[in-house]
Amino acid sequence: MRLSELRAREDLDAILQRTLARDFSERLGQPVTVTAGGSGQRWLVQPTLSAFYTRGICAAARRHLRDDFRWTPVRRRIPAQFALGTALASGPGLRLFGRPGFTVDPPLPAADALVVVPGNRRVRLFDFERGVCRVLLKDGFPARVMETEVAMRGRPAEGPFPPITALAPDLSWFEEPLLQGCVVPRLPPWVDAAPLVQRALDALGRHVAPSAREVDASAHLESLLARVALAHAEVATRYGADAALPAAFAAPLADVAALASSLEVALSHGDLQPGNIFVTAGPGEVLLIDWEHAGTRLRAYDALVLGLGSRSARGLARRVTEFVSGRRTVAGLGPEAADIRWRRATVAAFLLEDLTFYLEESVEVPGARASAGLAVLDRELQRLGPGLAALRERAS
């Protein structure tokens, strides 16, 4: 998420200052204050790059910021974004276009090798001197965020993800290697992303295969409806009735999904979008990052999140219609996807699970408004709404 989006949702600067003060105090073994002003070590913020840094930011950190911005999958924007990213992430650019961020007192050693990047629920602290990335739980956010990720990646078993190399006893932070490479949307235009995405799907499929099992469709759908009802009530109380409107689609979606007597579920990454597929430099190893949403869902869930682009939900209704009709294929699904009845029931169950995802995210994340994705999903479900009844009639 961009800084502007985070600031619209929450008091980001206050949360960030408390989060960093906690971590910096632990690092130095003494109280450290992080404030919006005053005396001390001054950090800048570059809003376009969504990063905080010191004026003397090191060359490795500048290269990271440059490479994490200047390429885009939108080809018409490549020249402008390349030029902008190159200029903003240069030493002069970072000093000239950086704004006051926060002040640290006492000063943090080797701060020129650090970059702070706030995220949805966590803060990433890139340490280019040590070659690690420390992931910090945002102050006031639920510990479950970290518990889920550590449960997945903290085990000695191998998987398609970077290892966790250090962990706070209270799960307030963990460390992972500072990887060289980029996520799929930041690949240079001459690199073909499709085979890399397929490798990610294949690796994920192998990893979750042992957890796959058939469950009674009615029981699974009833569980989802109960979760939707609970989250709906909380969203309506916290943000108003309009924010909770998408919950009205839960029952119609469950009706269509119930045409299947059973559903296959498995361990799920939970947020498989291109930005969570990391391609390492050199050998081009493909890793999946950000497992904070991992859990048991439809086995097809991750493939459909990626293949239908549900995390960038604009146009989702059209893509769903194309998938059900057979005019759109989704990589990572089994041979059962050739059956239109399976596609109808599965995509309805998927949309119900995605609705649950956004409602629960709105409840779990402290903020001034519900998840932006929930409002977009609402519009797409409204567009799809007239087709839900027809979809059920054609499938029965």
Amino acid at 29: G
Stated pTM of the model = 0.93
pLDDT of 241 over the 80 cut: no
What is the pLDDT at residue 392? 58
Query: Do 174 and 200 fall within a single domain?
Result: no
The per-residue pLDDT for range 76-126, each reduced to its tens digit, is: 999 999 999 999 999 999 999 999 999 999 999 999 999 999 999 999 999
Q: Which residue has the higher pLDDT, 390 or 334?
A: 334
Query: Do 174 and 212 fall within a single domain?
Result: no
Return the structure tokens found at 331: 């990589």
What is the pLDDT at residue 176? 95
Count H helices and E strands in the chain, helices first: 13, 15
What is the pLDDT at residue 372? 81
Helix (H) or strand (E) holding 216: strand 213-216
Q: CATH no. for residue 307?
A: 3.90.1200
Query: Do 231 and 344 fall within a single domain?
Result: yes
Please tell me the total count of domains within the chain. 2
Out of 178, 210, 225, a domain closes at 178
pLDDT of 394 over the 60 cut: no
pLDDT of 314 over the 60 cut: yes
Query: Do 99 and 244 fall within a single domain?
Result: no
Query: Do 230 and 340 fall within a single domain?
Result: yes
Residue 187 in any domain: the answer is no
Residue 183 in any domain: the answer is no
Domain that residue 135 falls in: 3-178
What is the pLDDT at residue 396? 47
Query: Do 59 and 22 fall within a single domain?
Result: yes
What average pLDDT score do residues 58-80 get? 95
Query: Do 375 and 246 fall within a single domain?
Result: yes
Out of 148, 178, 208, a domain closes at 178
Q: Which of 179, 73, 56 is nearest to 126 (CA)?
A: 179
Query: Do 264 and 120 fall within a single domain?
Result: no
Determine the distance from the C-alpha atom of residue 343 to the mean position of all C-alpha atoms in its chain, rounded to a whole number: 26
CB 265 within 8 A of CB 350: no
Query: Do 119 and 169 fall within a single domain?
Result: yes
Query: Do 201 and 162 fall within a single domain?
Result: no
Query: Do 254 and 136 fall within a single domain?
Result: no
Query: Do 106 and 39 fall within a single domain?
Result: yes
